[in-house]
Structure 1
Amino acid sequence: MWLQKQINLSPKPRGFHLIDDEIISSIPEIADIKVGLLHILIKHTSASLTLNENADPTVRNDFESHFDHFVPEGAPYYQHTYEGSDDMPAHIKSTIIGSNHTLPITHGQLNLGTWQGIYLCEHRNNGGSRQLVLTIQGE
């Protein structure tokens, strides 16, 4: 079985946001998959996806603080600044973190670790709604 859907995430402020529930609620068909894969692609170059700690919210704050320090706004060597001071840093962060993940499905559920969650990493101050392509392959 193959299934593909495009979904729109609600706009989120800059930061790291758990989106497991938004993804799972948009693909109720996952319940029928005994074994398979879910591939998730974000269709943007200024936001990214990661899989990480889902229990302690301070992890999300630490991610944001680290990446803001690691890839600062306003660096004098940035040339691509047409959309504001957060524009080029957002593209760099997106490249470092990545735009897609493939996750196992087992007995109708994502087969993630106990403390793992899927994050939307919003790198823009006003990124707006973000689009994901969800592709399921399984039986």
Structure 2
Amino acid sequence: MRQEQHILSVATRGRGFYEFTRDARDFVRASGLSLGQITVFCRHTSASLLIQENADPSVLADMEAFFEKLAPEGRGLYRHETEGPDDMPAHLRAALTQSSLLIPFAESELLLGTWQGIYLFEHRRAPHRRDIVLHAVGE
């Protein structure tokens, strides 16, 4: 078994979905590994990861609207308001999604479904630079 690791930096423009499937594919291809799995880990508590449809943008718009209703912003709704009214809702959204994903690969290709993409889900309104750890294990 061999291992490869890389930290991918994603610049966000604020709340929303940022697909990085191509970056993950490129990492696996460059690793020289043919068969194994990749762990994708988000190093933040106010952003998260999702595997979601990448063909119809209305899916992501509906996801965003759903999470807005599920964890709304607003002064006085939460005790934790140190970093602004979008901070605690961001933590709630991150808690309801994933901070890490495990994706198999074969012949140096991610085994995602036809319409699946890997996304960073930014929960804060302000732009951020988010670090994502890519860790491949295989042979």
TM-score by length of 1: 0.92
Mapping 1:1-139, distance limit 5 Å: 1-30=2-31, 32-74=32-74, 76-139=76-139
Q: Is the 8 A contact 1:53 1:115 kept in 2?
A: yes
- Give the letter for the 2:126 counterpart: N
Q: How many residues align?
A: 138
SS at match of 1:45: coil
For 1:108 and 1:98, the matched residues in 2 are separated by 24
Deviations, residues 106-134 of structure 1 (Å, cap 9, x unaligned):
11110011111111100000141100111
* Structure 1 stretches of 4+ moved >6 Å: none
Counterpart CA distance in 1 for 2:69 and 2:17 is 15
| Distance in 2 (alpha carbons) for counterparts of 1:129 and 1:38 | 22
Across the aligned residues of Structure 1 and Structure 2, the Cα RMSD in angstroms comes to 1.5
The two structures have a TM-score, normalised by structure 2, of 0.92
Percent identical residues: 38
